[in-house]
């Protein structure tokens, strides 16, 4: 792969993704396998004016060994180092950059029950620390090819060829393959904001989904809560950053307790190292009350039991079927990419900042007004070529939002 293209992609992550400002600290999470690329990102963060860049190294094989051999209670609790890191993040509010390169099957063979219990316990333990910094810092998630991930996506290619092919795919859908990626994202950002503005002008109160695969579902929306797309702002509107590279979605958080019907997945869900395939989720009174999967049933069920809010919806995202990721014809086995190939929903936490006046109201008041709260947020894809989405406005008027899987507005 052309080194200049890779360097430009690293620059995009620092400049547009994390939007690193002069004097800010940066915290990068990355696998040891992609150390060279993490160093490129760090270089561009320093060129943006970062005062310090800290890299937290991860290794999937070591993580798997921990789940296989370490005591569950020890894995589930925060030790002094964990608490120290949480206190550091709250004190410094560094820009957080997450570089994803993991093998989708990396934790296969691990006791699924142990894995879900440990993750649930750690999320609950971290929750009070995370609440102190929520919406006060910039962050960005972006993908980087790992060898095992590349082999999963391109099983018929040799390893080196698979990595090259995954690099090409990632750069193309990130708008970093041709031209200046930072300028490309400015244009993309403008297009997303235009679509968002049209949605917000409709004053929708409900979305109704129907597809020939069996999806027949409706969900209520919270009065006043907006649709968002593309870049987000830290609390107070000080700095805009791009949390997801790539991103094709316009999304909102629905009313807790107002979801009825059934939805069918249209792409596999890679969740904590387990691939969940061909599944459905049935809702009643807002809650996911029944899930069925041809593969990954236990992992799918575990999502609903992370905490009280993990079985309720936190997001409805609208993505055209003809999105660049879907047009690529590639199944990435990674939610960051696959969710941006088609419309999706998310179980778990809603986005409090979508509520007008959030800075003055605060989390508790927004939750009272219908926003779901949870320590988890799990996206799954339901978009299809014939998916229709009809919006119902405050006067009961029906407005076509999606027809045959694509925008109708």
| Residue 375 structure tokens | 């320590």
In terms of domains, do 156 and 214 share one? no
Average pLDDT over the chain, rounded to an integer: 94
- Closest by Cα among 26, 178, 31, 14 to 95: 26
Q: What is the pTM of this model?
A: 0.87
Neighbour-count burial of 285, counting CB atoms closer than 10 A to its CB (0-12 exposed, 13-18 middle, 19+ buried): exposed
**Residue 10, in any domain of the structure:** yes
What are the backbone angles phi and psi of residue 165, rounded to the nearest 5°?
A: -65, -40
CATH code: domain of residue 93: 3.40.1830.10
Average pLDDT estimate for 122-149? 92
Neighbour-count burial of 61, counting CB atoms closer than 10 A to its CB (0-12 exposed, 13-18 middle, 19+ buried): exposed
In terms of domains, do 31 and 72 share one? yes
In terms of domains, do 315 and 346 share one? yes
In terms of domains, do 265 and 402 share one? yes
Average pLDDT estimate for 16-33? 97
In terms of domains, do 106 and 255 share one? no
Q: Whole domain around residue 382: which residue ranges?
A: 202-228+245-407
pLDDT bucket at 196, cuts 50 / 70 / 90 = very high
Domain total for the chain? 2
pLDDT bucket at 5, cuts 50 / 70 / 90 = very high
In terms of domains, do 263 and 336 share one? yes
**Residue 196, in any domain of the structure:** no
In terms of domains, do 129 and 271 share one? no
Give me the half-sphere count of Cα atoms (radius 13 Å) on the Cβ side of residue 383: 29
pLDDT bucket at 172, cuts 50 / 70 / 90 = very high
In terms of domains, do 175 and 207 share one? no
Q: Radius of gyration (Cα) for the chain, nearest Å?
A: 20
In terms of domains, do 147 and 211 share one? no
**Residue 402, in any domain of the structure:** yes
Q: Does 303 have pLDDT greater than 80? A: yes
Average pLDDT estimate for 149-163? 96
The pLDDT assigned to 24 comes to: 97
Which residue has 């079985």 as its token pair? 311
**Residue 249, in any domain of the structure:** yes
Residue 266 Cα distances to 18, 23, 214, 278, 395, angstroms: 31, 44, 11, 7, 32
SS3 annotation, the chain: CCHHHHHHHHHHHHHHHCCCCCCCEEEEEEEHHHHHHHHHHHHHHHHCCCCEEEEEEECHHHHHHHHHHCCHHHHHCCCHHHHHHHHHHHHHCCEEEEEECCCCCCCCCCCHHHHHHHHHHHHHHHHHHHHHHCCCCCEEEEECCCHHHHHHHCCCCCHHHHHHHHHHHHHHHCCCCCCCHHHHHHHHHHHHHHHHHHHHCCCEEEEEEECCCCCEEEEEECCCCCCEECCEECCCCCCEECCEECCCCEEECEEEEEEEEEEECCCCEEECCEEEEEEEEEEECCEEEEEEEEECHHHHHHHCCCCCCCCEEEEEEECCCCCHHHHCCCCCCCHHHHHHHCCEEEEECCCHHHCCCHHHHHHHHHHHCCCCCCCCEEEEECCCCCCEEEEEECCCCEEEEEECCEECC
Q: Does 159 have pLDDT greater than 90? A: yes
In terms of domains, do 42 and 82 share one? yes
In terms of domains, do 162 and 213 share one? no
**Residue 260, in any domain of the structure:** yes
**Residue 235, in any domain of the structure:** no
Q: Does 400 have pLDDT greater than 80? A: yes
Give Cα 87 distance to the centre of its chain: 24
**Residue 352, in any domain of the structure:** yes
In terms of domains, do 278 and 160 share one? no
**Residue 239, in any domain of the structure:** no
What is the distance between the alpha carbons of residues 369 and 224, in angstroms, rounded to a whole number? 10
The pLDDT assigned to 282 comes to: 98
Average pLDDT estimate for 234-243? 84
Average pLDDT estimate for 176-189? 95
| Residue 298 structure tokens | 């236990």
What are the pLDDT digits (tens) for 197-228? 999 999 999 999 999 999 999 999 999 999 99
């Amino acid at each position: 792969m052309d080194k200049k293209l890779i360097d430009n992609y690293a620059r995009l992550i620092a400049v547009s993704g994390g939007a690193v400002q002069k004097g800010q600290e940066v915290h990068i999470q990355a696998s040891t396998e992609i150390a060279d690329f993490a160093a490129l990102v760090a270089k561009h963060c320093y060129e943006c004016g970062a005062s310090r860049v800290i890299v937290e190294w991860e290794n999937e094989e070591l993580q798997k060994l921990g789940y296989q051999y370490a005591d569950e209670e020890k894995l589930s609790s925060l030790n002094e180092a964990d608490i120290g890191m949480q206190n550091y993040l709250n004190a410094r509010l560094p820009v957080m950059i997450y570089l994803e390169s993991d093998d989708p099957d990396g934790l296969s063979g691990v006791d699924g029950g142990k894995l879900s219990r440990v993750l649930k316990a750690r999320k609950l333990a971290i929750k009070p620390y995370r609440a102190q910094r929520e919406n006060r810092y910039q962050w960005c998630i972006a993908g980087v090819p790992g060898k095992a991930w590349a082999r999963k996506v391109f099983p018929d290619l040799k390893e080196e060829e698979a990595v090259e092919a995954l690099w090409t795919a990632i750069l193309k859908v990130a708008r970093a393959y041709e031209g200046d990626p930072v300028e490309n994202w400015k244009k993309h950002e403008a297009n997303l904001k235009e679509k968002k503005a049209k949605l917000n002008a409709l004053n929708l109160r409900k979305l109704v989904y129907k597809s020939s695969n069996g999806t027949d579902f409706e969900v209520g929306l919270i009065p006043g809560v907006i649709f968002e797309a593309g870049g987000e702002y830290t609390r107070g509107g000080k700095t805009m950053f791009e949390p997801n590279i790539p991103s094709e979605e316009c999304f909102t958080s629905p009313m807790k307790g107002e979801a009825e019907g059934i939805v069918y997945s249209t792409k596999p869900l890679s969740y904590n190292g387990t691939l969940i395939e061909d599944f459905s989720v049935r809702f009643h009174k807002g809650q996911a009350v029944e899930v069925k999967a041809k593969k990954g049933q236990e992992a799918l069920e575990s999502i609903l039991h992370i905490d009280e809010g993990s079985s309720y919806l936190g997001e409805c995202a609208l993505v055209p079927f003809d999105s660049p990721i879907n047009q690529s014809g590639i199944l990435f086995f990674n939610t960051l990419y696959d969710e941006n190939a088609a419309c999706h929903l998310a179980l778990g936490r809603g986005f409090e900042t979508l509520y007008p006046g959030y800075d003055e109201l605060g989390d508790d008041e927004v939750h009272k007004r219908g926003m779901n709260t949870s320590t988890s947020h799990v996206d799954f894809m339901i978009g299809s070529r014939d998916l229709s989405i009809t919006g119902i406005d405050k006067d009961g008027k029906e407005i076509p939002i999606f027809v045959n899987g694509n925008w109708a507005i």
